[in-house]
Amino acid sequence: MSESSIITNLIGILTTASTLFMVAAGLTLVFGALRLINIAHGSFYMYGAYLATTLAARLGGAGFWVSLVICPLVVAAMGVLVEVLVLRRLYRREHLTQLLATFALLLIFADIALRLWGKSVRSIKAPSALNGHFQFGGAAVPVYDLFVIGVAALVAIGLWALMSRSKLGWRVRAVVDDPEVLAASGTNVPLILTGVFALGAMLAGLSGVVIAPEQAVQPGMDAEIIVAAFIVAVIGGLGSIVGAAIGSLIIGVVETLGAVWTPSWASTFIYALMILVLAIRPWGLFGETER
């Protein structure tokens, strides 16, 4: 490989890993606190992207930046509604019931999206500041890719600071460890759970906005991303944010290099990798065994 193609591939790996990470981090955070695999997490991603196309169409040039702020918040509000109206009633139920309920939510949200935005492929333009390439080591690196990587890096740092440096983050970890004791020491546990769920939804929505200028915004992107994010979370270990980061990088490597070397086998590699990890470490690379 030449120097320029190494750089091109490296940027490709990091960009893929970045979008995956933002979605998988939310999925895994929600799993950790709520012990629930939220299939509808993919809907939040899709709605982030669709809402951005609508806002961008109305607002023109500044639309992207407005979307970047507004859409994740709207999606977070959707998350609050979903948690309070539906999931809260299911925490004491079996995993299968919860899984089916969130799957049903995914289908409902997909139907609503179809009514609101139709079947056609939509897209938005990246803002002019993020257009173009710059030359580096003989490769033409898209500025937008660096933007995506930068957003994901900020999300990663933010999550790290929240979970290890703030009392609120400690409370979130305490919910995972022992919700009863946390309640008995004066913390409003249901509020924390709603907050975690909203945060996860917001990250998925953010990721949806960020990919909108680069990828086709269309029906089916919800299911596609949830499968990928789920694989990432399983490989990294459900519940572990570090695991989500490493898992995203692994998938980024396999997808990018797979596409270069053996395009038709790339996705097979990913599934094979997941099966391998599950066989050797069923709780994932960074996960902890179920209590």
**Residue 134: which H helix or E strand, with range?**
strand 133-136
Among the candidate windows 69-77, 148-156, 163-171, 269-277, which touches another protein by CB under 8 A? 163-171
Among the candidate windows 22-30, 46-54, 170-178, 247-255, which touches another protein by CB under 8 A? 170-178
For the chain, the maximum distance between any two Cα atoms, rounded to a whole number of angstroms, is 61
Burial 209-242 (b: 16+ CB within 10 A, else e): bbbbbbeebbbebbbebbebbbbbbbbbbbbbbb
Min separation Cβ 248 and another protein, Å: 22
> What pairing do the DSSP bridges indicate for beta strands 133-136 and 139-142?
antiparallel
Min separation Cβ 84 and another protein, Å: 15
Quick check: 187 binds another protein (CB under 8 A)? yes
Return the residue of 189, 242, 259, 273 that touches another protein, per CB under 8 A. Answer: 189
135 three-state secondary structure:
strand
Cα-based distances in Å from 255 to 40, 252, 258, 261, 273: 24, 5, 5, 10, 12
Identify the CA nearest to 149 among candidates 23, 8, 12.
12
Quick check: 171 binds another protein (CB under 8 A)? yes
DSSP alpha helix (H) spans, the chain: 3-34, 41-59, 63-85, 95-117, 143-165, 167-177, 179-184, 189-211, 221-236, 241-261, 266-280
Quick check: 89 binds another protein (CB under 8 A)? no
* Structure tokens, 37: 């695999």
Among the candidate windows 96-104, 139-147, 165-173, 209-217, which touches another protein by CB under 8 A? 165-173
* Structure tokens, 278: 């599950």
Quick check: 184 binds another protein (CB under 8 A)? yes
Nearer to another protein, 182 or 251 (CB): 182
Quick check: 46 binds another protein (CB under 8 A)? no
Quick check: 170 binds another protein (CB under 8 A)? yes
Nearer to another protein, 187 or 267 (CB): 187
Return the residue of 29, 37, 176, 217 that touches another protein, per CB under 8 A. Answer: 176
Residue pair 51/71 in contact (Cβ under 8 Å)? The answer is yes
For residues 119 and 122, what is the distance between their CA atoms, to the nearest angstrom?
A: 9
Quick check: 172 binds another protein (CB under 8 A)? no
Size of the site for another protein (CB under 8 A): 19
Nearer to another protein, 111 or 178 (CB): 178
Quick check: 177 binds another protein (CB under 8 A)? yes
Quick check: 41 binds another protein (CB under 8 A)? no
Quick check: 182 binds another protein (CB under 8 A)? yes
What are the residues binding another protein (CB under 8 A)? 167, 170-171, 173-174, 176-178, 180-190
